[in-house]
Structures are given as C-alpha cells and as structure tokens.
Structure 1
Amino acid sequence: MAPQLDAYFKQVDSLSDAFIERLRKAVAIPSVSAEDERRPEVIKMGEFLASELKSLGAKVELRPLGKQPHKEHLQLPPVVVARYGNDSKKRTILVYGHYDVQPALLEDGWATEPFKLTTDDKGRMYGRGSTDDKGPVLGWLNAIEAHQKAGVDFPVNLLMCFEGMEEYGSEGLDDFIMEESKKYFKDADAVCISDNYWLGTEKPCLTYGLRGCNYYSIEISGPGQDLHSGVFGGTVHEPMTDLVRVMGTLVSPDGKILIKGIDDLVAPFTDEEKSLYGDIAFTMDNLYESLGSETGLYPDKERTLMGRWRYPSLSLHGVEGAFSAPGAKTVIPAKVTGKFSIRTVPDMEIEAVNELVYKHVNDAFAALGSKNKCRVYLQHAGKWWVASPKHWNFTAAGKAVRHVWGVKPDLTREGGSIPVTLTFEQATGKNVLLLPMGSSTDAAHSINEKLDKKNYIEGIKLLGAYLHYAAEEPMN
C-alpha cells in the first residue's frame, strides 16, 4: 500500500493549486439555503458539483425532492448522488456532505468578501463554506482526480450523497435516504461523513458520538394587543414577566438542568468511557481561547469535555415578540415566545424528555397564579448518536490519520448535532464514521469562516488514505 499512497500523496501536492481553484469556484457560488432569493444559487451549486463529478467519470444523478414544505413557491435543491466504480470485488463506501452554506454579509463583520476565497500569508483560506462543507465535499472529488492522474487504482467503490438543505434542516432528505437505503445505497459497507472539526488545532480526531437536540418554545399570551406601560402597567398580568419567571426555572447559573427527572434518563458513566478522556489533546486554554474569556463552568479538562459531549445541557436562546431594537420603547407585549433547547445524550428518548419538559413548564406557570395563557411545544428534535469506535471503519481511519499526520487520532464525541448521521445508520444498518478535515478555529457559521490550506491538502490525502485502509481492514 505504501508505494500507492506515496504516488497518490505526491499527486495531491502537485495538484494543490488546481484543488484550491476548485474550492475558489465553489465558494464564489452563494448557495445560502435559508434565503429564498438565493435558491437559484443553491441549485447552481448542485449543478456545479454534478458537472465536476461527471468530468471525473462518475455516474451522477440530480434527484429532485419536490416543493419546500410551507414554501410551495420554492423548489428544494436536488440531492446529488454519484457512483465512482462498480467492482463487486471491492468494498463500497458511502460518503455524505452538503453544498449549501450559512448566510454571510460583509457588513456582518467579515474582514474579506465572504463569497470570495481569500488566502492570507499564514495559509488560511477565508470564505463562506470553505470548511462547512464545500472543502470536505470537494475533498472526495479531489481524491478521485489525484488517483486518476497518479495512475493509482481507486481502492473502493465510492457512493456519494450531497444535499443542498443541511443548513436549513435537511428538509426532504430523511425520506430520500430511507427510500434509497435498499436501492441506490444498498451496496454500502460503511458510511463516512466529513462535516465536523478537530477538537483543537494540532491533532486530528475521529468522532463517534453526537448529542441530540430538542428545541422548544414557550408561548405566553394575555392582552388582545400590545399595551402602553404608562396606561396599563400595574393593572394587568404581563406576559413578559411570566415568561422570564418560567424560563428562570429551567436551568441554574452553573448549568444544572432544573427539570425534575432529566438526570434519571442519562445513561450511567462507565469506566471504559472514562478511560477515553485522559489522553485527549485539549487544555482549558483551548476553551478560553474559543470563548474569548475565562467563563468556563469547570476547572478541569475531563469535566469540561463531559459537559460538552456526554451530559445534557439546556440553553436559553431568545424571546420573540419582545422589544429588542436599540433605544427605549415602553410597550407591554401581548404575546411573547421564549425559545430554549436541550442537548440530549444516551439514553434520553425524545418523547420522554418532552413529557418532563411539558410538566415542568406547566407546573412553573401554574405556580405564578397568572391569568395569562401558556403553551409549551416542541419545534423540532434530532436524536443523539453513538457508534462503536472499535469498528473496522474507525480502525481504518485511525491508520490513515497516523499515515498522513504521524499521530494517533483522538477519539471524540461532539456537543453539536448532525441528525443525518443517525438517519444513515438507521437506514443502512452500517457503521458511520465522522472524519473531520477542518480545525476548531475554522469559525463555521460565524464571520471569517476559513479552512487552512494545510488542512485542505492534507485532508485530501487523508480521505484517500482512509479509502485505501478501508479497502483492506479486516471486518470485525
């Protein structure tokens, strides 16, 4: 395998400028799925991917998903599915990514034009979508091209599934994956997703777990319209006062969830699990750098990582209906809606959490003795996911990381949610690996999103090396 990989790596290096140019073209397409007026650009990005794949000899299909729910005037972007290789003697690896991006405007605080890939003197490539997720998606295409031009046989059959609505809830994708699980995806032996990040900046990782997310709204209403506080203040039950009181009962300042029964749903902490935390390359300074402050809840690495990955958390996100613009406005809002989420972990089932949340909120509101009305409801939910890091899919990726980066990767979980991970696992019945390309400082979803040139080029080598090791790793 070594001579083949050496030839492949050499070709990746020689094509690095072309691969950066491919990323530049992709970043220039403002494929923002959350903005209706950008929908043609999202579709254009899907067509760009399809064209690039076809030029590499892949068999490509643009699969329509129909109209967007609640926005019937909008067509959902197509799912780009492609196959490269169809050798029955080879394993088949299914890879997923997304070609849509978060909104971005120069006036948001970007130092460069967000849809123009801009490289600084330290090799950081700035641009919306560079790391989330256009760089990793193009990594698979680049791996195909580098194999071709190096004259190295592609080690597996590659199935690709790239969507254009991930940043807007992946509408339509779950049904598509389930429908194709016994059709287009039926040959898959394992799944790999590159849509996450290293824990730090120096050491690669393999991710085997994600928290889920239950997102709730508390709606409190009373008066028939907004009121003037000078006229009605002191004479009416104010919805905003009730909401603040209720939301204040959900979580303590030290992060403890105050909903009775939540802790009982969490899977017990095992000695085997505890052993995974000690060697992880992470320091409290890494946290403080990310926070821009020293306001962490815990003084040590292990408890901080457990708080991020292994235990549930509850966060308050905002209030609709209240005055939030600059200046002063003496209005009593007639209806306000508070928003919060709970990041869930094994073994917290969605319905069990809902039941506890609804009871807590209704009891807390009843205790106020208010004449207003309260309604609490779930906006959306995605379940947690945990895979076996001892599966051959992970051991193959671990060998690839050691080959490319010269270190043993950290085995990590993540606090965020990638619901499609669980969907692929349930639909295919196969192990799912999260194999990140970017680092913790890439600022995905934020201003000045970037991908380091080194992570991009070495990441292309990593994806290719992973496929070679996956082709030969003994099944377990």
Structure 2
Amino acid sequence: MLFLLYIVSLLSSHAFLSPVPNNPLFKHIDDHTHDYKQRLKDWVAIESDSSDPSKRDQVVHMMQVTKDYILQLDGKVEMAELGEQEYSPGIKLPLPPVILAEFGNDTNKPTVCFYGHMDVQPAKKDDGWQTEPYTVTEKDGNLYGRGTSDDKGQILALLHAVESVKKFGLPVNVKLFIEGMEEVGSHGLEQLVEQKKNTFFSNVDYIVVTDTPWLSTKPGITYGARGNCYFFLEVDGARRDLHSGGFGGTVHEAMSDLVYLLGTLADVKGKILIPGIYDDVLPVTEEEKKLYKDLVFDLEDLERDTGIKTFLHDTKEELLMHRWRFPSLTIHGIEGGFSGSGTKTVIPAKVIGKFSIRQVPKMKPSVVEKQVSDYLEKQFAERKSPNKMKVTMVIGAQPWLANMSEPQYLAARNAVKKVFNVDADMIRAGGTIPIAKHFEDVLGKSVMLLGIGGPDDAPHGQNEKISMHNFIEGTKLYASFLQELASF
C-alpha cells in the first residue's frame, strides 16, 4: 500500500510530464544531464553571498567563472565595471562587474537579451539547513543548495540551452546581462542600463528575466508584478523615554498614537481604508477571469505549506487576484520602544511604524504617497494628540504589466506546449520586480519573466532546491523558446 501511495505521489507531483519527443535537440540535452548537474555543483560551491563583505571576492570569482564558461561557448564578453560600494561609513568595497555577453550579431535575426544574477542569499547549516548549503545534495529528485533555484540553476539552464541550440544552428541573436548584486539591491545596475541603452541594448528586441518560479508544477509565464510603496510612520512624544510608573496616565504616549494610526489603515478583511486608493485599479475583464479560472493552484497545498487554515478569501480566483492584481497593505513592524524578552516598563519617546502598499498597474507611487499622507494627517488631527507625526515614503517601486500578445510571449507559450504538452499558466508576481519596469521604461522593449523555478524551491529560505525535472526540462524550454522566437 505504501509503495502504491508513493507511485501516486510521484505521478501527481509530475502531472504535466510528457513523453520525451523524438527530438535531436532534446536528446542532446538528456545526454548531457550529468555534465549539467556537475556544473551546477561547481557553481553552488562558490559562496557568492553579496551581503557578506568577507565574501565579496567570491562574488567576483563567480562572475569570472560565468564569463569563462560563456567564452568556452564562443560567446563575446564585456565585463562592465561599476566602481565601489560604500558598505559602511569609511568602508568601501569593489562592486562585482556585470557581464554583457552576446552570441551572434546577424541583423536579419531577432535579438533577445536574458537577465539574471550570480549572487545568492546568506546561508549557514545551523540556520536550519538539512544539508550543507554550498554543497549540492541530490535527494528525492531534487538538487538542494543555495543558488540552485535563485538564480544559478536558472542561468545555467539557459546557458546549457544556448550551448545545445548552437549545435543545430542558433536561429536568433542572444545577449546576456548578468549581475552579481541582485540580492542586495543591484547597486549601479539601473545607471548601467541607461549608459548602455544606445550600445549594448541598441539592437535588442526582447528582454527575458530568468529568475522566477512557477505557481505550481505546471509551467508558468509571468507577465506582471505589483509595485511597492514603503512607508515610515514616525510619532514623537517626550524628549526622552519615560518610566510608566511615574508618567503612565499623565502623558500622551507616542506608542498609543502609532498603534491607533496603524489600526486605521485596513479592516479585518484586508480592505485598505485610505480614500481613493482603489480609484486607479483596473477593472477585471472577462478574459482575465478566465485566465484565473484555468490556473492550477491548490488551496489545500497552500494551507499545508503555510500552516494557515483560514485565508482572507475563499476561492482560488479571489485569493490569486488579491495576491497579484489588487493592492494590499501590510504592517511590517515597529522600531523603538521595548521589543526584547522579559519586561521593561518604558514609555518610548519616539516610535516608527513600518508598512507597505503593494500597488498595481495604473497606480502611481506619487499619488499613493499623497493619499497615505493626507489620510494619516487627518486621522492624527482627529485624535487631538499633542505629539508630532511624520509620514515618509522610503520606497516607490512601480508596478509592471506586459502585453501578452507580444511575439516573445507567443513564442514562450509555443515552447511550453512543445516541451510539456500543456498550455502555460499565465501568471503575475505579487511581489515587486523593479528591473522589469526599469528595462521597459528605459529601453522601451518587451519584457517577459520566463523562469523555471518550482513553487516550493524556498529560494531565500533554508533547504533551497531545484528539481531535476525543472532543471533539465527547463533547459529544453529555453532551447525551444530560442527556436520558436525565430519564427516571429
């Protein structure tokens, strides 16, 4: 019985597997699986944690290793220097160079540029990893290790695809834009895009980001992402912290004001209470409703993964729409006062509440900033507190939404069908992907997110992994995409 359940589980987890077609390109990829896996092991072993200054040399080394492999594939490479980063007052670190590479420059062929990154999040075994984070461990069809999914595994799948397609004739020009500081804010990258607009990017027709997961085991193509307006809400009271035994009941407490104000931002169902916040949200079309209806998404899986039994919305469609295409407000924390273990009877003099609004297309950060400030100032005035309040928007990242009828989206959908024998899920990201919007704004090019990560890869958490299925079939997906794009 247990064996039967195991077989059923395997079939369920790979419900969209299709027999390997009689395709020489796919056979070539299958024949080199061992080489691909070994290269991933070698790359994951490089501890390219961009947040740790002691490992900056490892990030630079990772960029050099990537460059060497591209050269091995007969690509042309420029290493664009970005200068230095002021890590802390008086301490500067060299920024890792950005790889600008290309394969082919035939003016009769379309040119697609892929973006990705070689740096990784911090990882230590004692953080809760079941395996050594910088040693790839294969278990139950998965490859565990930091960077296997985000983003070394996805970039390698792309490079392996380019290598494989070149054996049969590369039908499009391919460019690569690979950085080493994505996990800590992509220092200097936006300026580099602007600098290279009329040179490296001048002949680029399409841009593909290879750093995204699927919604389920079914392949997905991402065509939109929410923005992020992040706020600091500061309330100042006394000149210094006070003892509640001596001043409790005699002063207007800054923390009480802050908690009150934070409590007025959204209701118990998550609806944002700031007037006008929904005015620019696009209405849901019938065509869009159908997209959500056809998506593969299991609420029970989400419950098991999060441990949450009751969500704000009851259906798959409602939940995904509120994750992707409606704005949401989240309170992240409070700075100031007492938050340690034990007890401390303090009345904090100053506190800062931190919250964000994930905004959607047509919502402008500048408008959201004014709506939030006006609302909180009104609420504070009505409270009649003598304390001082200040609202500051510290992040104003814009949302992004692409046209799914653009040629590269059609090519990607054809490639998914060819490799997996299913129609791709067309999905959005609930988070923010600033580089996609920046590419679109500065270059005026079509942008698409075509990743091969799984929904449970834990890219920023413990036990990050990529499945062998996604790694190898994802290589075929990128290879097929290059071939399909040539026909548009």
- TM-score when normalising by structure 1: 0.94
Cα distance in 2 between the residues matched to 1:108 and 1:229: 38
Deviation (angstroms), 1:330: 2.5
Q: Is the 8 A contact 1:200 1:286 kept in 2?
A: no
Deviation (angstroms), 1:5: 8.7
Match of 1:87 in 2: 106
Match of 1:470 in 2: 485
1:339-372 alpha-carbon deviations (Å, 9 max, x no partner)? 1111111210110101001112222222332232
Relative distance call for 1:312 and 1:69 in structure 2 (3 A) is: farther
Q: Is the 8 A contact 1:267 1:346 kept in 2?
A: yes
Cα distance in 2 between the residues matched to 1:5 and 1:145: 19
What runs of 5+ residues in structure 1 fail to find an aligned partner? none
**Residue 272 of structure 1 aligns to which amino acid in structure 2?**
E
Q: Look up the SS of the partner of 2:470 in the other structure.
A: helix
Cα distance in 2 between the residues matched to 1:438 and 1:301: 21
Cα distance in 1 between the residues matched to 2:431 and 2:373: 23
Relative distance call for 1:443 and 1:311 in structure 2 (3 A) is: same
Match of 2:195 in 1: 179
Cα distance in 1 between the residues matched to 2:479 and 2:22: 8
Q: Does 1:392 align with 2:411?
A: no
Relative distance call for 1:160 and 1:374 in structure 2 (3 A) is: same
Match of 1:264 in 2: 279
Cα distance in 2 between the residues matched to 1:35 and 1:337: 27
Q: Look up the SS of the partner of 1:192 in the other structure.
A: strand
1:163-186 alpha-carbon deviations (Å, 9 max, x no partner)? 122122222111111221221011
**Residue 100 of structure 1 aligns to which amino acid in structure 2?**
D
Match of 2:5 in 1: none
Q: Does 1:35 align with 2:84?
A: no
What runs of 5+ residues in structure 2 fail to find an aligned partner? 1-19
Relative distance call for 1:231 and 1:105 in structure 2 (3 A) is: farther
**Residue 279 of structure 2 aligns to which amino acid in structure 1?**
D
Q: Is the 8 A contact 1:124 1:451 kept in 2?
A: yes
- 1:269-418 correspondence runs (5 A): 269-418=284-433
Q: Look up the SS of the partner of 2:126 in the other structure.
A: helix
Q: Look up the SS of the partner of 1:472 in the other structure.
A: coil
Cα distance in 1 between the residues matched to 2:457 and 2:412: 22
Cα distance in 1 between the residues matched to 2:238 and 2:56: 39
- Counterpart selection for 1:422 from 430, 437, 461: 437
Cα distance in 2 between the residues matched to 1:403 and 1:199: 19
Relative distance call for 1:324 and 1:126 in structure 2 (3 A) is: farther
Moved more, 383-392 or 270-279: 270-279
Deviation (angstroms), 1:94: 0.5
Q: Is the 8 A contact 2:237 2:387 kept in 1?
A: yes
**Residue 100 of structure 2 aligns to which amino acid in structure 1?**
V
- Counterpart selection for 1:156 from 142, 156, 172: 172
Deviation (angstroms), 1:144: 2.6
Match of 1:50 in 2: 67
Deviation (angstroms), 1:4: 12
**Residue 8 of structure 1 aligns to which amino acid in structure 2?**
L
Deviation (angstroms), 1:25: 1.9
Cα distance in 1 between the residues matched to 2:396 and 2:87: 18
Cα distance in 2 between the residues matched to 1:5 and 1:135: 26
**Residue 123 of structure 2 aligns to which amino acid in structure 1?**
A
- 1:441-452 correspondence runs (5 A): 441-452=456-467
**Residue 154 of structure 1 aligns to which amino acid in structure 2?**
L
**Residue 353 of structure 1 aligns to which amino acid in structure 2?**
V
- Counterpart selection for 1:215 from 224, 230, 238: 230
Q: How many residues were matched structurally?
A: 467
**Residue 188 of structure 2 aligns to which amino acid in structure 1?**
G
1:196-227 alpha-carbon deviations (Å, 9 max, x no partner)? 111112x1111111111111111222233333
Q: Look up the SS of the partner of 2:77 in the other structure.
A: strand
Cα distance in 2 between the residues matched to 1:304 and 1:81: 39
**Residue 426 of structure 1 aligns to which amino acid in structure 2?**
D
Relative distance call for 1:424 and 1:254 in structure 2 (3 A) is: same
Relative distance call for 1:5 and 1:421 in structure 2 (3 A) is: farther
1:397-446 alpha-carbon deviations (Å, 9 max, x no partner)? 01110111111111111211111011111222221111120111111212
Match of 2:16 in 1: none
Moved more, 54-63 or 225-234: 225-234
Q: Does 1:189 align with 2:205?
A: yes
Deviation (angstroms), 1:454: 0.8
- Counterpart selection for 2:182 from 158, 161, 166: 166
**Residue 192 of structure 1 aligns to which amino acid in structure 2?**
V
- Counterpart selection for 2:468 from 450, 453, 459: 453
Match of 1:124 in 2: 142
Q: Does 1:139 align with 2:141?
A: no
Deviation (angstroms), 1:69: 5.4
Q: Is the 8 A contact 2:86 2:92 kept in 1?
A: no
Moved more, 3-12 or 183-192: 3-12
Match of 2:7 in 1: none
Match of 1:434 in 2: 449
Deviation (angstroms), 1:20: 1.4
Q: Is the 8 A contact 1:207 1:413 kept in 2?
A: yes
Cα distance in 2 between the residues matched to 1:364 and 1:34: 39
Match of 2:118 in 1: 99
Q: Is the 8 A contact 1:95 1:159 kept in 2?
A: yes
Q: Look up the SS of the partner of 1:367 in the other structure.
A: helix
